[in-house]
Amino acid sequence: MRECLIPKLFANDDDYEVVGLLVEDGDQVQAGQTVIELESSKATSDMQVEVGGYIKLKVRIGDTVRVGETFAEIFESHSQCISSEDVSTTDGKKSGVQQPDVKAHTEVMPQIASKQSLKFNGKFSFTRFSDDAEKMIATHGLDRAAFNGMGLITSAVVRDCLNLPTDNPVANDEQRIERPRSEANTLNVRIEPVSSAKQTEIEYLLQGQEGLLNSALTVQFDSCGIRRTLEWSNNQDETLLPLILYELSRLVPKHPKVNAYWSNKHTHYYQSVDIAVAMDLDEGLKAPVIRDADQSNLMELKNQLNSLTLKYLNHQFSPEDLSGGTLTVSDLSSQGILYFQPLLNRRQSCILGIGGEDQGDLYPMTMTCVFDHRVLSGREVSLFLNELKDRVLKYSVDRLESLRSHKALESIRCWRCSVSHQEYTKKYQDEANMLLSVKPNGEQAYICHLCASGY
Amino acid sequence: MGPNVACIHSIECGIRTITGLTRKLMSRVMSRNTSESAQNTHSNETDKRSLTESEKRRVLHKALIANRVEEKLLSMYSEGQLAGTVHTCIGQEMVGACVSEHLLTQDYVFSNHRCHGHFLSCRGNIDQLFAEFLGKRDGVCAGIGGSQHLCKDGFFSNGIQGGIVPVATGLAFANQMSASNGIAVVFIGDGTLGEGVLYESINLASKWQLPLLIIVENNGYAQSTCQQETLAGSIADRFEAFGVKVHQADTWDWENLYHSAAYVVDQVRERNQPMALIVDTFRLRAHSKGDDDRSPDLIQKYAEKDPLQTIISNQNHPHYDLLLSAEEEIEQALKVAERAPINQSLTLSENHLDIHFSQTSAPQQRVIKRINETFHSIMQEHRQVIFLGEDVRDPYGGAFKVSKGLSERYPERVLNTPISEAAIVGLGNGLALGGYLSFVEIMFGDFLGLAFDQIVNHAAKFEQMYAGQVRVDTVIRTPMGGYRGYGPTHSQSLEKHFLGVPGLTVLAINAISDPACVYQRLAKGGSGPVLLIENKTLYGKMICTEFPQGYVAMISDEIYPSIYVKPQCERIDVCIVAYGAMASIAVDVLEALFFHHDIVTAVLCPTQIWPFQLKRYQEVIANCKYLCVLEEGQGFSAFGAEVIAQFAELNYTTSYQDACPHNKSAHVCRLHAVEHCIPAATQLEEQVLPNKQDLIDKIIGLIKHA
């Protein structure tokens, strides 16, 4: 095994940040091959390996490395490379179990902290709950075992897991009344405590505004064409949300900065696309998360949205459901709101607000992106938004080749039973689901669900 | 080991025979016992022979140097060349000149605010004295000491009346312990006879039969106040009451003074016992520069019989050439001093090193047992360590039994002292100057006030004001604090009065870590003067070896290590900073705060509370959202106030902001005793001193109102 060390690249710097990994663990590399990219205060440099072999990286993106530190190990065989895993974690450098000193502890950066802590892979050998934490776990019907190894657990830790952060562990209603008491004496006001759910929401959103550099851009488009496409797919009661989520999740990897956040002079990039969807069905604002949204197809997204809605109504959210969103979408298009600026959430650089107004044929819609200017620029966001708009508009009926070929769009019929679209939907309503299919002769045509299931 | 007074005392009392006592000392003791009565009748057995011309010229030369230097200094002051003050000995020069003739290099000389003559006669460095006044790097004390604070090769002076006498006593003791035949000579004025520490020292020197020579320059005036206004009884009676023999002389018959000095120096050296030489004299110039209300006629009367003025006013005097050569010498010295570079800056030692913590464990033992055992091993290992205090010898073994069994094993180095807090701390200071390291026990911390001057103006000052020529390794240990129902004067925490004294280190042991390392480190020496706080309630406590589950104790790599009780979780709400016994209270509330109040709390317990730099602990502090300082004593201008002030300043440093990105302004609070003297009744004492519930309430209040 050969260790690859960080050389001194620039006279002024001893620390470099890892900004790119060009290989993965276990990859075969050639001598001279560039494997990682480092950034100093001056410039970015490529790091090559001096010998060929199978590589095991000792750094991750975002790590700060010092001159002389090992950034990779090269093994002669693939099996050695893989089996070295255990050895390398016992050296204490990356291990979370050992805590030899306080300094080392404080160096742990909250890279994708919310998600990591959610895995509950606690680094402590014990778990103890405060009384309030116990209560909260009981209230939310959470599994105590989920917190194994997380050490001392206060209600704040539980709140964190539920994505309901607060900085005030003994915050209670009494306190919130105390403050304005003096005002009440002088002003003609009535004072009512803010519910703890609302208070939590306030604190949660406040953190998103901490940077004070939030900005917003909006694109507008007419959605009638898309809606007609949806209608033909027999989705009359449906919003554009699943479609937008689908396109958004696929676009995000192209624009990684919208899936990131700023902290302590560093941009932290999330490695997965976990979209939080703001929901308020009269029981408080919640933002359940669709994990790895970019891995789900449209139908799966739809189903996930439905199941989250059910969970909302049945109070069945688990901590996993409510935490770790990497960006957020808020949809008020069905509320008659054409345009609004949503509030950015903590540890996110971007939130997408969808507005729309049913005002006749055009059905105008807007997509507003509120973004953290510390991470993103106006130009980056305008490119992103326009691309998203273009992708969504591709579903417009006039752009869908398969649909345009039909002479009269209203005259869709099941190619087997010839029932008209109008009659069919009238008869089966919610059950109705006209599917695009391929006829035996190879032509594309619609088929009703009864015919599709073959009687 | 060397001869020792405590042994002598034991022999005299016929209690037991001490082994290790040298034959020489035995004979010395015996001879003193047998010839005591005879000695008292020899009021004046000095050699009355005439001085040879060369002896005369040597003494006069010294005296004239002192006279001319001081006249020069006065004129430099009047010309505005010098700042500060100058206390001249003009009229009294013969005292230093005569006494210094009989001293050996191993003798120590202690002087006072009026020290130039003594210094010049004993050490002779005219250019260095001028350089000192001019603030030059080559000054006796590099310009730091100035007129009143000189130090050179065993010569020490200080500007505190009488304060140097116990230090001289300590050095006399050190001389005796090391069996050198050096003596300690201390010059005081008749004004100093009003100081209590003088009598504490005379008592000690006489009881322990130390080679200390006290020379009283009796000039009849304390600054502007005539002796008749303030002095009761006689000066000689003061010494004789303690069994110290007195010899009298004056500066007008200076040849007699010369012989008297020779006699007393010899007696003190040979008989290893204290003596006093009272020298009647008259100060011909003002106390300081111009503050003289005495009648010119009176001054004139004394000037006329002053041996030096006689020479100065008569060009035909056979010794007038000495005046001229003295003036010439002084001019040369002044030129040397003027050429020397100005001392532009002080050498300050700043310690900004980061502190690292690592996991630790402590032995399962009671604190008192641990300290006692540690002293047993220290006394065995370090032969220069002396244990001093009231009631510290066996079988009593100290009010809190810290020294139990020590005097049985080390009788010559564990000493019961009179109830003289100032003198015994001064004694420790003197022992330190003589190469011994004393652990001085002040029975209750409340009594520190009695030793304040010795700690602040002597122990803490010497190294700095003498420009690093000496170091005073004295450890003043004291049981401190309340919770025992001892009432207003035996329960206080007075350490805050010593925080911020440059040159002093204040330490406090605790029961959440092993105190032994602190004592072991101190016993090695090199620590300088240390005030070591031992909270009374700690003695009976077991050293904490098991912390609540979820909290680990980590120890710092400081010389006197801090303990960080670290919660094991991602977020810490509060950090309690507490030292001494308060650290145990802080640890005791951790679980209640966590379980019942949903608050995760860390405890930072420093051992060194002065000097104290919060920024060294910023890694710890930065982890917490709230900071609470807990202390047992009064809060006003105390440790907590300092920590919070430093914390506020720290908030504006970039290094702290980097360490603490999410929490730039944590909220703070203090918990301390209420502003009342400490009542004796338990239920009242509880209302004054902090307790666990107070701490919990304070922290909840802090978070609620943040």
pLDDT per residue as tens digits for the range B180-209? 899 999 999 999 999 999 999 999 999 999
H or E segment to which residue B693 belongs: helix B692-705
**ipTM surpasses cut 0.95:** no
To the nearest whole Å, the CA of B703 is away from the closest chain A CA by 7
Residues in B touching A154 (Cβ below 8 Å): 569, 571, 573, 594, 598-600
Q: Given this model, what pLDDT does residue A409 score?
A: 54
Cβ-defined contact of A154 to B573 (cutoff 8 Å) = yes
What is residue A166's predicted lDDT score, i.e. its pLDDT?
Answer: 53
Instruction: Tell me if chain B has a CB within 8 Å of the CB of A103.
Output: yes
Q: Which of these ranges, A20-34, A286-300, B37-51, has the smallest mean pLDDT? A: B37-51
pLDDT the model gives residue B45: 54
Q: Which residues of A touch B704 (CB under 8 A)?
A: 170-171, 175
Of B573, B598, B705, the CB nearest to A133: B598
Q: How many CB atoms lie within 10 A of CB A218?
A: 16
For B276-332, what is the HEC assignment? EEEEECCCCCCCCCCCCCCCHHHHHHHHHHCHHHHHHCCCCCCCHHHHHHHHHHHHH
| pLDDT tens per residue, range A50-90 | 888 888 888 887 777 777 778 888 888 887 777 765 444 43
- pLDDT tens digits for range A357-369: 887 777 889 999 9
**Partners of residue A157 in chain B, C-beta under 8 Å:** 569-571
**Which residues does A159 contact at the CB level (< 8 Å), separation at least 6?**
A136, A165, A166, A200
Q: B-chain residues within 8 Å CB-CB of A102?
A: 356-357, 554, 564, 566, 619-620, 623
**Which residues have CB under 8 Å from A65's CB, separation 6+?**
A6, A15, A16, A17, A18, A38, A59, A71
pLDDT at position B26 is: 41
Strands B212-218 and B184-189: parallel
The answer to whether residue A309 neighbours chain B at the CB level (below 8 Å) is no
Q: What count of other Cβ atoms lies within 10 Å of the Cβ of residue A50?
A: 11
pLDDT confidence tier of residue B35, bands split at 50, 70 and 90: very low
Write down the pLDDT at residue B139: 96
pLDDT band at B351 (very low <50, low <70, confident <90, very high): low
- Among A168, A170, A263, whose Cβ lies nearest the Cβ of B597? A170
User: What is the rounded distance in angstroms from the CA atom of residue B275 to the CA atom of residue A306?
Assistant: 104
* pLDDT surpasses 90 at B424: yes
Percent of chain A with pLDDT over 90: 14
The predicted pLDDT at position B640 comes to 97
Distance from C-alpha of A331 to C-alpha of A324, rounded to nearest angstrom: 19
Q: Please determine, for residue B587, whether its predicted confidence score (pLDDT) is greater than 50.
A: yes
The whole-angstrom distance between A206's CA and the closest CA on chain B is 14
**Percent of chain A residues past pLDDT 70, beyond the cut:** 76
Residue of A198 and B346 predicted with greater confidence: B346
Cβ pair A131:B596 closer than 8 A: yes
pLDDT at A148: 82
User: Which residue would you say has higher pLDDT here, B666 or B174?
Assistant: B174
pLDDT for residue B101: 97
Contact B18, B9 (CB under 8 A): no
What are the tens digits of pLDDT across the range B232-273?
999 999 999 999 999 999 999 999 999 999 999 999 999 999
Burial class (CB in 10 A: 0-12, 13-18, 19+), B213: buried
Question: For residue B395, is the peptide bond before it cis, meaning its omega torsion is within 30 degrees of 0?
Answer: yes
Residues of B with CB under 8 A from a CB of A: 354, 356-359, 549-550, 554, 564, 566-571, 573, 594-600, 619-620, 622-623, 625, 658-659, 661, 700, 703-706
Residue A393 is predicted with a pLDDT of 87
CB contact under 8 A, A154 and B554: no
Per-residue pLDDT at B240: 97
CB A204 within 8 A of CB A164: yes
B275 has pLDDT over 90: yes
pLDDT at B542 over 50: yes
Least confident segment among A34-38, A366-370, B134-138, B363-367: A34-38
Nearest to B510 by CA among B469, B553, B473: B553
Per-residue pLDDT reduced to its tens digit, B588-625: 999 999 999 999 999 999 999 999 999 899 888 888 88
Q: How confident is the model at residue A190 (pLDDT cuts 50, 70, 90)?
A: low
Which of B569, B599, B699 should be substituted to probe chain A, the one whose Cβ sees the most A Cβ atoms within 10 Å?
Answer: B569
pLDDT, position B501: 97
Contacts of A150 in chain B (CB under 8 A): 569-570
Which pLDDT belongs to residue B259?
A: 96
Q: Which of residues 254-273 of A touch B (CB under 8 A)?
A: 263-264
Mutate to test the interface with B, among A170, A207, A347, A374 (most CBs of B within 10 A): A170
Contact yes or no for A152 and B599 at CB 8 A: no
Does the pLDDT of residue B697 top 90, yes or no? yes
Percent of chain B residues topping a pLDDT of 90: 81
The Cα of B550 is separated from the nearest Cα of chain A by a number of Å equal to: 6
Q: CB of A10 within 8 Å of any CB in chain B? A: no
Which residues lie below 8 Å from residue A450, measured CB to CB, with a gap of 6+?
Answer: A417
pLDDT at position A316: 79
Comparing CA positions, the residue from B369, B418, B402, B338 lying closest to residue B139 is B338
Asked if A157 reaches chain B (Cβ–Cβ under 8 Å), the answer is yes
What's B589's DSSP letter? T
Concatenated DSSP letters for B55-88? HHHHHHHHHHHHHHHHHHHHHHHHTT---S----
More confident residue, A122 or B201: B201
**The two structure tokens encoding residue A47:** 């790091």
Instruction: Kindly tell me if the per-residue pLDDT of A307 is higher than 50.
Output: yes
A148 vs B contacts (CB less than 8 Å)? none
A114 close contact with B: CB closer than 8 A:
no
Is it the case that residue A185 has pLDDT exceeding 50? no
Q: Residue A196: which pLDDT band, with cuts at 50, 70 and 90?
A: low
- Residue A209 makes CB contacts below 8 A (sequence gap 6+) with A343, A344
Distance from CA of B562 to the nearest CA of A (A): 13
The better pLDDT of the pair B168, B12 is held by: B168
Q: Could you tell me if A101 lies within 8 Å of chain B, comparing CB atoms?
A: yes
Within A9-130, residue ranges assigned H as helices are: 78-83, 85-89, 102-106, 113-118
Q: Kindly tell me if the per-residue pLDDT of B278 is higher than 90.
A: yes
Question: Is A263 within 8 Å of B597 when comparing Cβ atoms?
Answer: no
Task: Between A236 and B55, name the one with better pLDDT.
Answer: B55
Quick one: average pLDDT of B88-112?
96
pLDDT band at A104 (very low <50, low <70, confident <90, very high): very low
pLDDT of residue B48 exceeding 60: yes
Between the alpha carbon of residue A249 and those of residues A241, A255, A300, A379, the distances in Å are: 12, 10, 13, 20
Kindly report, residue by residue over B638-662, the tens digit of the pLDDT: 999 999 999 988 887 777 767 665 5
Residue A111 DSSP label: T
d(Cα B528, Cα B68) in Å, to the nearest integer? Answer: 38
Distances from the Cα of B147 to the Cα of A401, B93, B273, B503, angstroms: 104, 16, 31, 21
The whole-chain average pLDDT of chain B stands at: 90
pLDDT over 60 at B458, yes or no: yes
Q: What Rg do the C-alpha atoms of chain A give, in angstroms?
A: 27
In this structure, which amino acid lies at residue B669? C
Query: Could A130 and B594 be called an inter-chain contact, meaning their C-beta atoms sit closer than 8 Å?
Result: yes
Closest CB to A150 among B569, B620, B622: B569
| B356 neighbourhood in chain A, CB within 8 Å | 101-103
- CA B485, CA B501: separation in Å to the nearest integer? 30
* Between B485 and A319, the higher pLDDT residue: B485
pLDDT-derived band at A10, boundaries 50, 70, 90: low
pLDDT at B678: 97
Q: Say what the pLDDT of residue A237 is.
A: 60
- Interface A-B, measured as beta-carbon pairs within 8 A, has a size of 91
The per-residue pLDDT for A401 is 59
Pick from B550, B564, B596: which is nearest to A151 by CB? B550
pLDDT digits (tens, 9 = 90+) for A315-335: 778 777 888 889 999 988 888
A74 to chain B nearest CA, in Å?
A: 33
A-chain residues near B594 (CB < 8 A): 128, 130, 152, 154
Alpha carbons B706 and B701: distance in angstroms, whole number: 8
| DSSP state letter for B576 | E
Q: Give the mean pLDDT of A275-301.
A: 86
Residue spans of beta strands (DSSP E) within B182-232: 184-189, 212-218, 221-222, 225-226
A97: nearest CA partner in chain B: B568
**Which of the given ranges, A236-245, A289-298, B378-387, has the highest pLDDT on average?**
B378-387
Question: What pLDDT sits at residue A201?
Answer: 74
> Does residue B53 carry a pLDDT above 90?
yes
Q: Which two tokens stand for residue B118?
A: 């003594």
CB contact under 8 A, B570 and A131: no
What does each C-alpha distance from B17 to B7, B209, B271 come to in angstroms? 8, 18, 21
pLDDT at B14 over 80: no
State the pLDDT at residue A240: 85
Q: Which of A397 and B161 is assigned the larger pLDDT?
A: B161
pLDDT at A439 over 80: no
Instruction: Identify the DSSP state of B665.
Output: S
Q: Average model confidence (pLDDT) for chain A? A: 76
Are B570 and A155 inside 8 Å of each other by CB? no
Q: What is the pLDDT of residues A227-274, one digit of tens each?
A: 877 777 665 566 788 889 999 999 998 999 999 988 878 888 998 999
What pLDDT was estimated at residue A212?
Answer: 79
Count of C-beta atoms within a 10 Å radius of residue A383: 13
Closest CA to A150 of B567, B663, B598: B567
Beta bridge partners of B49: none
- The reply to whether A133 touches chain B by the CB within 8 Å rule is yes
Average pLDDT over residues B367-375: 96
Determine, for residues B619 and A167 on separate chains, whether the beta-carbon distance falls below 8 Å: no
